[in-house]
Amino acid sequence: MRLSLEPRTSPWPLMSALAPLLAVALATLGAGILFALMGRDPLAALHALFLSPLDSVNGLAELALKATPLLLCAIGIAIGVRANVWNIGAEGQFIIGAICGGGVALYFGPDGGWWLLPLMLLAGVAGGMAWAAVAAFLRTRFNAHEILVTLMLSYTAVQVLGWLVHGPWQDPEGFNFPQTPLFEPGALLPVLIEGTRVNLGAVFALLSVPLGSLLLGRMMVGFRIRVVGLAPGAARYAGFSEAGTVWFCLLLSGGLAGLAGICEVAGPIGQLLPVISPGYGFAAIIVAFLGRLHPVGILFAALLMALLYLGGEGLQISQQLPLAVTGVIQGMLLFFLLGADVFIGYRVRIVPRTPRHA
Which residues contribute to the site for another protein (CB under 8 A)? 58, 62, 65-66, 159, 162, 166, 173, 175-178, 182, 197, 264, 267-271, 273-278, 309-310, 313-314, 316-318, 320, 322-324
Q: Closest CB to another protein among 229 and 268? A: 268
Q: Cα(26)–Cα(232) distance, rounded to whole angstroms?
A: 38
Q: How many CA atoms lie within 13 A of 5 on its CB side?
A: 7
Reported in sequence order, the residue ranges of 44-181 that DSSP labels E, i.e. its strands, are none
Q: Cα(45)–Cα(30) distance, rounded to whole angstroms?
A: 12
Q: What is the CA radius of gyration of the chain?
A: 23
Q: Compute CA distances 285 → 47, 235, 253, whole Å.
A: 28, 26, 12
Q: Closest CB to another protein among 47 and 166? A: 166
Residues 6+ apart with CB under 8 A from 177: 170, 171
In the complex, minimum distance from the CB of residue 126 to another protein, in angstroms, rounded to a whole number: 22
Q: Closest CB to another protein among 76 and 261? A: 261
| Contact indicator for 24, 300 with CB cutoff of 8 Å | no
In the complex, minimum distance from the CB of residue 261 to another protein, in angstroms, rounded to a whole number: 11
Q: Closest CB to another protein among 58 and 213? A: 58
Closest CA to 188 of 266, 103, 115, 276: 266
In the complex, minimum distance from the CB of residue 269 to another protein, in angstroms, rounded to a whole number: 5
Residues 6+ apart with CB under 8 A from 344: 8, 12, 15, 16, 19
Q: Cα(128)–Cα(300) distance, rounded to whole angstroms?
A: 25
In the complex, minimum distance from the CB of residue 106 to another protein, in angstroms, rounded to a whole number: 16
Q: Closest CB to another protein among 62 and 146? A: 62
